[in-house]
Structure formats: C-alpha cells, structure tokens
Amino acid sequence: MGGAVVDEGPTGIKAPDGGWGWAVLFGCFIITGFSYAFPKAVSVFFKELMHEFGIGYSDTAWISSILLAMLYGTGPLCSMCVNRFGCRPVMLVGGLFASLGMVAASFCRSIIQIYLTTGVITGLGLALNFQPSLIMLNRYFNKRRPMANGLAAAGSPVFLCALSPLGQLLQDHYGWRGGFLILGGLLLNCCVCAALMRPLVAPQAGGGPEPRGPQRSSQRLLDLSVFRDRGFLIYAVAASIMVLGLFVPPVFVVSYAKDMGVPDTKAAFLLTILGFIDIFARPTAGFITGLKKVRPYSVYLFSFAMFFNGFTDLTGSTANDYGGLVVFCIFFGISYGMVGALQFEVLMAIVGTQKFSSAIGLVLLLEAVAVLIGPPSGGKLLDATKVYKYVFILAGAEVLTSSLVLLLGNFFCIGKRKRPEVTKPEEVASEEEKLHKPPVDLRVDSREVEHFLKAEPEKNGEVVHTPETSV
C-alpha cells in the first residue's frame, strides 16, 4: 500500500497531501471532465452529421461508442506507456492526439474518416491523459485521497453541463466543422494539465535527488501479478458486471419521458437535474469516505453505493409520470455520484500504489467490453418488448448483482485474508531461541562453557559473564 509508482520515482516517497498536489488535483479535475463528458457532448453535432453525410442516428452513435471504447479498451497500453516513459510525457502526447483528432475531423469528407479521427485518435488521446492523471493523484494524496478522488470525479458532471451547451452554441454559429475545430483547440488544455503533473523525487541522504534511471529499467511494462490478488479479481468482476447496467438509465431516461408524452424540453431537463445532483454527490461521497472511522470500510461503502444505484433503477421502472422520473433522477444522481467518487479510490486501496498503474489499465479493459454490451443490450430488449420498464429492471438487476459480488467476495475472501494471525506464546519463545542461537560456524567447546558458567556466582538471578563466555 505504501509503495510508489516506479515510473515517477523510487518507492517509499511520502505523499504530500497538499502543496503542489492541489495543482495536480486541478489538472485531474479537467482531464476527468474532458474524458467522460466529451463522448456525450459531441452528440449535439449528430443531426448536422446525419444531414451532411446522409446517414442514420445509429451510424452517428458509433462516434461516442468508439470514443468510450478507446477510453476504456486502451487501458493496458496506457499502463505500459506510463511504466516506460512516465506520466507527464504520456499525457503531453495524449493532449496532442486529442486535439489533432478533432482538428482533422473538421476536414473529413465521410463518416468513416470521422470514426478514425474523432473516435480513434481523439479517444486514444483522452485515454493517454485520463489514466496517468489518476496515477499522479494517487501519488500526491494519501490521507486526503478519498476527498481528492471525489473532487476530481466531479469534473465529469461539471464539464457535461458546460460542454453540451457550448457545443450547441458553436454549431449554431460556426457549423459542425467550425465547432470541431474550436473543440480541438480546447483539448490542447490537456497539455497544460500534463505540465502540472510534476513527478515526486525522493532525496538522497546527502540531500540530492535520487537517480531514477536504473529503477525504471527493472519495472515491468504491465504487472500481471495483480491477477494473483483475490481482492483485485473480485473488484474486476464486480466492476465489469456493474458497468453492464450503470450507463443504461441515463441513455434511455429522456426517451422514457418522451414516450410518456412529456415535451422534448422538459424531457431533456431530466439529464440536467441528474448532472446537477451528481456535481455535489461526488465530493460529498469523497469527504465522507475520507473520515477516519469510515475509510477502513470504503469497500463496503462502495458496495452500498452500487446497491443504492441498482435499487434506484428498479424503483425508477415503476414511474408513471414526469414527477416520478424527476424523483428517480435525483436519487440516481446521488447514487451515480457515489459510485463515480469511490470506484478508483477502492481500487487504490485494494492493490496499493505500486501496482495501481497496471491494475487500472486491466480493469478499464474489462469494463470496455461491458460498456459495448450494456446499452446495446438494453436497446435490443426495448426493440423486442417496446416497454422501457424492462430496460430499467435489467439495468437494476445487473448493478445489484455487482454489489453482492463485491460485498460477499470482500467479506469471505478479502476480509478473512487480512485478519491478523494470533501467535502462540510457545511460537514466540521458539523464535526468541532462534534469534539468540549462536551461528553454526562459531565452534565453542560446550564443556568449557559449562565449566565457566558453574564457576561464576549468580547476582540477582543473572549470570556474571567473563570475557571468555562473552566471546
């Protein structure tokens, strides 16, 4: 738990829990906002793209799907780059990729070209920023890490509330090509955030910085030993199941409202309510998790957050009017914010700082598969039944299952493993005898030692040693 990521310096560096860490937190806030909000924000350009290229909504929806797939699926690649080159260089390159993809997309003449530029290149750039920023946040914060994770995670709803109206404004004034070009310029701010990720360097005893070259060469590009950790395996399985249903309700809640006859403006306002609640839920969850009495039970709190989210989905399926959906969005925003604030904090607590760079990459890869399965499976169910209620029930059942997997797995596997073993007094005495036992190569005549011990008087129950017996 106390080791440091080798790419940024030697192990054993104490986290500052402040100082320059606040600048790192600010950079992580912006990176998280761009990474999670950007795939949703580009959807405001979909109608223009449909008109431009003569395609359907399903064709344009692939842009967001490819962005999310790159963000999650390139996790191991990001881990290897971070372990080889360090966080800051990887993030600088990622910022350039993210910007280049959007700028190139503004000159595209087909939807396939947009898939490659906006989807693949920009998605890869955001991935190369997102994962290293979390690693650096983990390096700079220890005692305040839950609060720092909650504040950084709040970037997602804040940027979603800002980028969607901005995208609509850019489209109205400059068209989709001008909007893509300006958004590409905005993504260059990822490079500014990368410059904030100053690595921690452990001082030598003489006061100079400790050299890092030899240590980096011994670091594996991707540490697969995390799969031997039962805690990591349980977390990975639970998180993958959770992602199957976690993103489904926000995708369908607006259509659910329209199906009830709610006007388009009021239906879209549901996502605004959800995002507004989410903004405050994430820092609050991080602050509560950071409390001294709560932090040891962060895994159980995360399990409760997933259970709360799944239960909210099930109750949301019973909504019959707009008021019911508003109440659903309020509680979904609270539970969704709790999950967002705790998911990476719990992973850090399970695998430790040294293995976190590899663990997060592998977890994101597993979640990438679930992200591509979850919403489409909900759409298939909706096409077959024409009933939104079943979609919400399916999503709730999946998230509830994930909470039970994490809860029971932690209680029966991780909890038992971490219980300290009680050492018997006989074993302690045996260990002490071994410690005081003379080396095997020190040859002493036992009869000579016995002669000296018997010859000397005892004082206060202790044997008075002569120079010979001392030797």
Per-residue model confidence as pLDDT tens digits over 147-158: 898 899 889 888
Which alpha helices (H) appear in 388-465, and where do they start and end?
A: 388-409, 415-417, 425-436, 446-455
Q: Which two tokens stand for residue 305?
A: 């957050």
- One-letter identity of residue 177: R
- Nearest CA-CA partner of 360 in 145, 132, 98: 132
Reported as a single tens digit per residue, the pLDDT across 59-98 is: 787 888 788 888 888 888 888 898 889 899 999 999 999 9
The Cα diameter of the chain in Å comes to 108
Angle at the Cα of 125 from the Cα atoms of 119 and 126, rounded to 5 degrees: 85
Rounded CA separation 162/167 (Å): 9
Interior/surface letters 437-466, b for 16+ CB within 10 angstroms, e for the rest: eeeeeeeeeeeeeeeeeeeeeeeeeeeeee
Per-residue tens of pLDDT for the chain, all 471 residues: 323 333 344 456 777 888 889 999 999 999 999 998 888 778 788 888 888 888 876 678 788 878 888 888 888 888 889 888 989 999 999 999 999 999 999 999 999 999 999 999 999 999 999 989 988 998 898 888 888 988 998 898 888 888 878 888 888 899 999 999 999 999 999 999 999 998 887 666 555 555 444 344 445 677 788 888 888 999 999 999 998 888 888 878 888 888 888 887 788 788 888 888 998 999 999 899 888 888 888 899 999 999 999 999 999 989 888 999 999 999 999 999 999 889 888 988 888 878 888 888 888 888 888 877 877 788 788 878 888 889 899 999 999 999 999 999 888 776 555 544 444 444 444 544 554 555 545 454 555 545 544 554 444 444 444 433 333
Nearest to 248 by CA among 338, 406, 165, 372: 372
| Contacts of range 365-369, beta carbons closer than 8 Å, 24 or more positions apart | 365/72, 365/73, 365/75, 365/76, 366/236, 366/239, 366/240, 367/72, 367/239, 367/240, 367/243, 368/68, 368/69, 368/71, 368/72, 368/73, 368/75, 369/240
Instruction: Give the number of other Cβ atoms within 10 Å of residue 222's Cβ.
Output: 17
Quick one: pLDDT at residue 467?
Answer: 37
Residue pair 188/95 in contact by the 8 Å Cβ criterion: yes
Does the pTM surpass 0.85? The reply is no
Sign of the alpha-carbon torsion through 261, 266, 268, 274? negative
- Please answer whether residues 138 and 13 qualify as being in contact, where contact means their C-beta atoms are separated by less than 8 angstroms: no
Alpha carbon 361 to chain centroid, angstroms: 9
- The pLDDT, as a whole number, for residue 209 is 52
The long-range contacts involving 182-188, CB below 8 angstroms and separated by at least 24 positions, are: 183/42, 183/102, 184/99, 184/100, 184/101, 184/102, 184/103, 184/105, 184/106, 185/99, 185/103, 187/34, 187/38, 187/95, 187/98, 187/99, 187/102, 187/122, 187/125, 188/95, 188/96, 188/99
Residue type, 70: M
CA distance 208 to 215: 17
The tokens describing 424, both together, are 């018997």
Strand 458-459 and strand 462-463: pairing? antiparallel
Among residues 399, 367, 366, which one has the least CA distance to residue 249? Answer: 399
Provide DSSP, 171-208.
HHHHHHHHHHHHHHHHTTHHHHHHHT-PPP-PBPTTSS
Q: Note the pLDDT tens digit of each residue in 35-58.
A: 988 887 787 888 888 888 888 766
Which SS3 state, helix, strand or coil, does residue 459 take? strand
d(CA 84, CA 104) in angstroms, rounded, equals: 29
Report how far apart, in Å, the C-alpha atoms of 219 and of each of 7, 198, 291 are: 8, 20, 34
How far apart CA 268 and CA 256 sit, in angstroms, is 11
The answer to whether residues 305 and 331 touch, using CB atoms and an 8 Å cutoff, is no
CB atoms within 10 A of CB 14: 10
* Contact status, residue 239 vs residue 405, Cβ threshold 8 Å: no
Q: 77: which 2 tokens?
A: 């690649």
Distance, CA of 236 to CA of 291 (rounded, Å) = 25
Instruction: Find out whether 132 and 8 touch, Cβ atoms under 8 Å.
Output: no
